[in-house]
Amino acid sequence: MISSDKRSSRAGYSMVFLVSSMLLLSCSAEEVEGIKKGTVDKKAEAQPTDKIKDSLRFNAVNVRTWAAKDNANNFPELTDSIVAVPWIKSRPSFGIAFSGGSTRSATATLGQLRALDTLGWLDQARYLSVNSGSSWISVPYVFLPEQFDGGRFLGSYISPGNIRDAVLKDEEDNESMEGAIFHARVVDPSDPERIRSMLRGDEGYADFVGEVFLKRFNLHDRNKFFSSHEAALDAILQSNPLLKSDDFYLMHKNRPFLIVIGTLLTPAKESYLIEATPLYVGLHSEFSVASAKDADAKRMLIGGGYIESFGYDSYEPKQAVSADGRWNVQLKGDVSRGDPLTNKRYRFTLSDVIGMSSAAPHITIAKKKIPDTVFPEFRHWAIDREHVQSDAQLYSKAKELKHGDGGDTDNLALIPLLARQIENILVFINTRTAFPADASCDNITTDVIVDDLIYLFRSTNKPEDKVVFSDGEVQLAKLCHDFKQKKQVGKPLAYCQNYVIKSNVRYGIREENYTPSICWVYLDRTQQWIDKIPNDHTEKQVTDLKVKQGDFEHFPHYQTFGEQGPLLIDLDRERVRALSNLTAWTVYESASYIAQGLPSALLAIGKRPEGFDQ
């Protein structure tokens, strides 16, 4: 049976094709032909001579790699003597995961971050692990430049008793993230640059989401790399004297370390989870896969560790330049290997990160052998260069591979936290699937609980089996019964439990007596919150919200695509403000329970806003 999340996604793919056609109709014949040939780029590609000379600095760079296949605990943000992030090492073993789900997830995540920030819990967290729509919010939050105010970015909390039509429709703050969601339409006649951003070949979609979610925060410079903090940047500049500090965005100090997940698709259409972080990009485990669709194609290695983020999408290194795993790699395009004649310099940017993580149709389109022109492809090479170069049976060059939405491998963004053996985990499931009050917890189907959660407990007997919990069926039933009891009395769906973890080699998860505490918070139209909204029939939007009609027919489980028709991912301010404040209230209301369920995270609840539930 297909879950409502997947049905919504399939309908969304049809919408993607419609919008793609609209984009092509807006192009000149020359531009359309350029898209087919992969030679169209933004106008900025025709740079003045001085900028072209400056860009020569990026032809090749020296990048660090970290092997992980024989060192399960090698996560550089914690273990590297030079680039470890100092403020996260001293924090409790606490991570927060946000699921995907386009602008529904983005909006829900915004409200959840708003509440977590007020409570001070983000200052306790080591990690934010995010996917798809939640990456649209979390990446600019973590990299927010110092000139922007974090409170304005997250927006003000509105308690349910203060929700009125005028409040839902109030003018936006141009430094708020909610404003970016208001204006997330693909086709915007007032912004022709947004349309043209989709014409950059396989960087087109990434450029579009960068225009929408990063540009207003000065984070959409396609010429800039990114890294984590000053010590990491100093190490990069020491090894790359032609690079400058201004070539990089850095994390906002003291923010949790960010993990953005995506899906890497091999030539044989196998899917693997890939991580992009401020420090590095890669797969912790190493896999041998076919290098082409042909049955007799050489094998190639993918993963096995990480490469510094600014060196991703490069050609394979020829030789090491230092004993600590630093390699010289070429970023410059190579016409002899099929790159466009534009001779562009490739840079892996923040826009590429959120573009990869949220390219929802990409993997499905690729597996169905439908050509596409706008979704991400990046060059990937194996970390174990000694092995690759010494084995003639292995394909040794970089391979341009499709990268798509992390929801194809781990929509809940939980697996990276389990791989790092985090002891206290808070998971926000911002799903399209509503939990029914009459749920059957003896035979749990995807009509009851979203499949992304079920498959962590129940085997699918597929190579990419995701089961990570021992005694999974029993534990899943406990979760279901708890949700059912709370749903029937109108409480938020939050459930905490200690789990025994099973090893899962594909995802780098080890047993080793690992028993984390996990709290699940499931998106729900919580009746207690609805009841606190004033009854006033002169307020149309508020009335529609209370009785689930009009603009709020699907509230809070907005469709992943097409909630507002051909606008695709756009949500108006009324929908955004209602959902973000519901999810913020849910965190406040559940804070005491969650703090008890994650005891060693040392979470305080004293900072909840006075009258938050009134």
Residues 35 and 373: beta-carbon distance below 8 Å:
yes
Residues 345 and 52: beta-carbon distance below 8 Å:
no
Give the tokens for residue 58.
């990026």
Under the phi-then-psi rule, with left for phi > 0, alpha for psi from -120 to 50, and beta for the rest, what region is 398? beta
> Phi and psi (nearest 5°) for 274?
-125, 145
pLDDT-wise least confident of 6-20, 61-75, 206-220, 450-464: 6-20
Of 478 and 13, the one with more pLDDT: 478
Closest listed residue to residue 558, CA positions, set 2, 103, 100, 3: 103
CA distances (Å), origin 27, targets 79, 370, 376: 50, 21, 21
Residue 77 pLDDT more than 90? yes
Residue 454 pLDDT more than 80? yes
**Helices first, then strands: H and E counts in the chain:** 23, 16
Name the most confidently modeled range: 365-374, 440-449, 567-576.
440-449
Under the phi-then-psi rule, with left for phi > 0, alpha for psi from -120 to 50, and beta for the rest, what region is 269? left
pLDDT digits (tens, 9 = 90+) for 134-188: 999 999 999 999 999 999 999 999 999 999 999 999 998 999 999 999 887 665 5
Under the phi-then-psi rule, with left for phi > 0, alpha for psi from -120 to 50, and beta for the rest, what region is 280? beta
Of 21 and 582, the one with more pLDDT: 582
CB neighbour list of residue 78: distance below 8 Å, 6 or more residues apart: 84, 85, 88, 89
Residue 230 pLDDT more than 80? yes
Question: CA 350 to CA 227: how far, in whole Å?
Answer: 10
In the chain, the percentage of residues whose pLDDT exceeds 70 is: 84
pLDDT digits (tens, 9 = 90+) for 480-512: 999 999 999 999 999 999 999 999 988 999 877
Residue 16 pLDDT more than 60? no
* Residue in this structure with the two tokens 């997330």, named with its chain if needed: 184
pLDDT-wise least confident of 187-201, 411-425, 474-488, 541-555: 187-201
Q: What is the pLDDT of residue 460?
A: 78
Mean pLDDT of 325-342: 79
pLDDT digits (tens, 9 = 90+) for 104-118: 999 999 999 999 999
Of 51 and 601, the one with more pLDDT: 601
Host H or E run for residue 385: helix 385-390
First-to-last C-alpha distance (Å) of the chain:
41
Closest listed residue to residue 431, CA positions, set 413, 404, 457: 413
Q: What is the pLDDT of residue 192?
A: 60
Closest listed residue to residue 578, CA positions, set 608, 607, 557, 609: 557
* Residue in this structure with the two tokens 């042909």, named with its chain if needed: 294
Under the phi-then-psi rule, with left for phi > 0, alpha for psi from -120 to 50, and beta for the rest, what region is 511? alpha
Q: What is the pLDDT of residue 184?
A: 75
Q: What is the pLDDT of residue 47?
A: 47
Cα-to-chain-centroid distance, residue 358: 6
Q: pTM of the full predicted structure? A: 0.90
Q: What is the dihedral of CA 455, 460, 466, 470, to 10 degrees?
A: 80
Mean confidence (pLDDT) of the chain = 86
pLDDT digits (tens, 9 = 90+) for 279-302: 999 999 999 999 988 878 899 999
Residues 131 and 259: beta-carbon distance below 8 Å:
no
Question: CA 570 to CA 184: how far, in whole Å?
Answer: 5
Name the residue ranges covered by the structural domains of the chain: 4-94+194-409
Residue 341 pLDDT more than 60? yes
Residue 244 pLDDT more than 50? yes
Amino acid at 406: G
pLDDT-wise least confident of 222-226, 462-466, 487-491: 462-466
Mean pLDDT of 127-135: 97
Give the tokens for residue 260.
């953005």
pLDDT digits (tens, 9 = 90+) for 343-398: 565 689 999 999 999 987 766 776 666 666 678 899 999 999 989 988 999 999 99
pLDDT digits (tens, 9 = 90+) for 312-331: 999 999 888 887 778 999 98
Residue 126: pLDDT band with limits 50, 70, 90: very high
Under the phi-then-psi rule, with left for phi > 0, alpha for psi from -120 to 50, and beta for the rest, what region is 228? alpha
Question: CA 3 to CA 560: how far, in whole Å?
Answer: 12
Closest listed residue to residue 507, CA positions, set 379, 410, 381, 380: 410
Strand partners, 95: 127, 425
Closest listed residue to residue 595, CA positions, set 89, 90, 92, 78: 92
